[in-house]
Amino acid sequence: MTGKSKKKVYFETFGCKVNYAETSRLIDEFAKIETLQSESLEDADILVINTCSVTKKADADARKAIRHALRKNPDLFVIVTGCTAEVNPEQFTHIEGVDIVMGNSAKFELMQISQNFQKLEEPLILEPENTGTVFEYAYSSEVDSRTRAVLKIQDGCEYKCTYCIIPQARGFFRSMPFNQILPALRDLESRGYLEAVLVGINLSEYNFEGKRFKDVLRMIAESDLEIRVRISSIEPNILDEEIIKIVKDSKNICHHFHIPLQSGSNRVLKSMQRRYLREHFMEKILMINREIPDASIGIDIITGFPGETSDNFQETIDLLQNFNFSYLHAFSYSERENTPAATMKNKVDEKVKKERTRKLIKLSNIAAEKFYLSQIGQVRDVIFEKEIEGSENSNYRRFIGHTDNYISVFVDSKNELIKSKMKIRLIKFINEKIYGEIFQP
């Protein structure tokens, strides 16, 4: 495509950080065929929707976005990809105006299939032969931030969690070659990024020719990288004393763990086919509390899984009283077709699910305040991402950044702070916000 024939592409992404990284890869692939990235639907010729299938709402949001786009611009050539396109492409082929539906495995083959992007009479479903067997490299910068990059080093999941459709959407475990990870991080560092977040569909199951996730962390910890590295998520059955020690002793791995619990009831965990018991989870968290007391710990919990009784939910509440954590991500169970949980009996009423989720959000707020207050007086490295309004002094500007242990910090300064890393003393906690000042040794 040259000259006047250049087409403009608009991208919309739903779901996890892996999806956002892969959208960035698609942007690069489209650039190779001389298309332009559009900032608006009205100005675009092509729409690429990267979907998420974790919940029914995620499915619905993608369909809604497509219909909204076609109302604004009926001439759009519409490409739907991602997890929902992989497991249930038919829900998009029924939408008038959709041209191509392609699952995760096909998304990077698009450029080889069509460069004309002329509207089709009937939607085309692309299904590659090697579904979910090839690792596709991807990285992106987070939205509104050129300071933090997301680096995908793992894909696929072979766990059999009964509520989850992601293994069907993402295929088998596969990983980035071990000897490519450090060069990729050095490349991000050379581009000016100050932080890289390691992501994967099941990140802690990284495995390339016998090198496991702890080997990745050890390699990073022993390197001379200045870019700080954050672990996006780690499974309780993989987290162990060795990994905690690597993080504790490292100068470039963030003191931040995000760990899915899903339920504090052993009966529910067994029904979910999770790979640990509540006692094991508590042991791992207490180990972090003991070895890295300043670590931020985030925990995922699903409420209202089929058969979860009020006593089972109370077990979750009780478990959370036994250790320190920083925040909860609480989700009401969302039934997914073609998963074992979809056929389970004793469904939990939606109102009960929502009430349990509300209780966990309240508990999360209490835990966050406790954690923030424990950090007052600490001096932390803060990477500043953007400027916001709110400084009470007209001579100062207000900036927001994140500490290595994942605290959002507000700092007023006369000088530009965006894209800088500075030592900041955390000085006060007001209205659920932490404020800091530039540290003067």
pLDDT digits (tens, 9 = 90+) for 282-318: 999 999 999 999 999 999 999 999 999 999 999 999 9
Q: Please report which confidence band the pLDDT of residue 3 belongs to, taking 50, 70 and 90 as the band edges.
A: very low
d(CA 47, CA 12): 8
More confident residue, 224 or 113: 224
Q: Please report which confidence band the pLDDT of residue 114 belongs to, taking 50, 70 and 90 as the band edges.
A: low
Kindly state the average pLDDT of the residues 340-349. 96
> Which pLDDT tens digit goes with each residue over 368-385?
999 999 999 999 999 999
Q: Please report which confidence band the pLDDT of residue 155 belongs to, taking 50, 70 and 90 as the band edges.
A: very high
Residue 4: the pLDDT is 53
Kindly state the average pLDDT of the residues 347-355. 97
Q: Is the pTM of this model over 0.85?
A: yes
Q: Kind and range of the H or E element at 269?
A: helix 266-272
DSSP class of residue 233 equals -
- Measured in residues, the chain has a length of 441
Q: Please report which confidence band the pLDDT of residue 71 belongs to, taking 50, 70 and 90 as the band edges.
A: very high
Query: CB–CB of 12/39 below 8 Å?
Result: no
Residue 115: the pLDDT is 59
> Which pLDDT tens digit goes with each residue over 22-68?
988 888 888 888 788 998 999 999 999 999 999 999 999 999 999 99
Residue 401: the pLDDT is 96
Lowest mean pLDDT among 20-24, 110-114, 397-401: 110-114
Kindly state the average pLDDT of the residues 106-118. 73
Q: Is the pLDDT of residue 128 over 70?
A: no
Please, what's the largest Cα pairwise distance for the chain?
A: 68
Q: Is the pLDDT of residue 144 over 50?
A: no
Q: Please report which confidence band the pLDDT of residue 132 belongs to, taking 50, 70 and 90 as the band edges.
A: low
Residue 426 φ/ψ, nearest 5 degrees: -80, 120
Residue 2: the pLDDT is 46
Q: Is the pLDDT of residue 258 over 70?
A: yes
Residue 129: the pLDDT is 57
DSSP class of residue 106 equals G
Q: Is the pLDDT of residue 1 over 70?
A: no
**336: nearest Cα among 52, 48, 94:** 52
Kindly state the average pLDDT of the residues 134-160. 82
Please report, for residues 13, 142, 178, 332, 338, the alpha-carbon distance to residue 203 in angstroms, rounded to integers and kept in the order given: 20, 18, 13, 23, 24
**290: nearest Cα among 282, 298, 301, 280:** 282
Residue 217: the pLDDT is 98
Q: Is the pLDDT of residue 238 over 50?
A: yes
Report the percentage of the chain scoring pLDDT > 90: 77
For tokens 């065929």, name the residue. 33
Q: Which fold has domain 132-254?
A: Transcription Regulator spoIIAA (3.30.750)
Instruction: Point out which residues pair with 260 in neighbouring strands.
Output: 300
Mean pLDDT of the chain: 92
Q: Which fold has domain 3-126?
A: Rossmann fold (3.40.50)
Q: Please report which confidence band the pLDDT of residue 429 belongs to, taking 50, 70 and 90 as the band edges.
A: very high
Query: CB–CB of 142/19 below 8 Å?
Result: no
